[in-house]
Structure 1
Amino acid sequence: VDHLVPTTLKEEVLRQAASLRAMGAELRGQIAGLADPAAEHSIGALLMTLAGAVASWRSRNGHGQSVNIKPGLVSQAKRRGGEGRLGVVEFETPAKGRPNPKKNCVCDSTIRSINFAMGSESVAHTDFSLPGPFPVEWTRTYCSSLDAYDRDVVGARWITPFTTRFDCVDDGLVFHDADGRSHEFTLPKVKLAHYNAIENLTLIRVSNDTLVLCRG
């Protein structure tokens, strides 16, 4: 078989193989370095930041709920309703944003994409899809209430997963998500986090100018 393969080709294959072996040793060291909590922006440092945020939250919310239990007696909780009477609701708190239809699997808009809570229109449009090992689907979402994107590069009030952003508003932050909905956050201190229980989002401030948003 040796005489069927040109010498130059064999030399090139051997050279590439040697290069890959050398690269493997270097990559092994770099991957191991990701576990070092002292290395900036490493996975180990991120885990330490998360652990610190959890410990800080538990220290602030570690107290339990106090109850009074009388010795020798059975405590009962009672609630007496209005015996079938209907009350009049004079005031309802207005909605501040569109709900997440995927969370409770409920219909939140009309068949023409008009949201019940806000009266805003939302439309998704896919411009193109690129197949491959890492497929790319370029889908834009239009939201009529997304005035923060009036001058966006993909069109007024259109947003994509590649154009989401944080805006500084007063002393807090507003995150504009890819579905056109916006979520308010308080600006946490460095190495602390803020959790949005409704959207199941955790915002971590890694440094003065670096934020990490975790979903789930």
Structure 2
Amino acid sequence: MTADDANHSTLLPAQAMAGRDDPVDRILATAYELFSRRGIRDVGTNELISRSGVAKATFYRHFPSKDALVLAFLALRDQVWTVDLIVSEARRRGSTPEERLLAIFDVFGDWFHRDDFEACTFINVLLEMGPDHPLGKASIGYLSRIRGHIEALAEEAGLNRTEEFARSWHILMKGSIISATEGDFLASKRAQQMAGWLIEHHRN
């Protein structure tokens, strides 16, 4: 997958859903684009309504509160980013479970070089809203789901202490995202090297 392909994958909702007649699709496409790039608090309900081209009554009929829309956005982000982009593409690139694990950082490398690289939505929302807020708790849940995907790959690879492995691997993922946000575009390669050492550690 090229960097252009990665860009298309993460922007698919905004591109494919915005032109549909269904108002829910248009609202979600607008929310996906705005929340991904600007965060939650910076985007107001009036802007969401205006940009999605729906009536206020229609908006509130489907999403009684802004938080309800954010929860729907997080679920969509989990499918588009975690499942369709990261997990599915890593599985496609690798021919063995270990190669698939390491391929996660190759996918990250493409993502980090996108002009509109937006970092991790779940981390962003968690930091913005806090761990005790319902949206923060939802983000923690989606981060846990990422670890679940990693643990499944670790089990397929026959590694030991797979839950511990998944938590350590997730630290590498999150750390590389933060480093890329700081401007280190080799962050994925650095993390991938450490990931190889982690795999060796969990073979014993």
With the length of structure 1 as denominator, give the TM-score of the two structures. Answer: 0.21
Higher strand fraction: Structure 1 or Structure 2?
1
With the length of structure 2 as denominator, give the TM-score of the two structures. Answer: 0.21
Tell which structure's C-alpha radius of gyration is larger. 1
Higher helix fraction: Structure 1 or Structure 2?
2
- Which protein, 1 or 2, shows the higher relative CO under an 8 Å CA cutoff with sep ≥ 6? 2
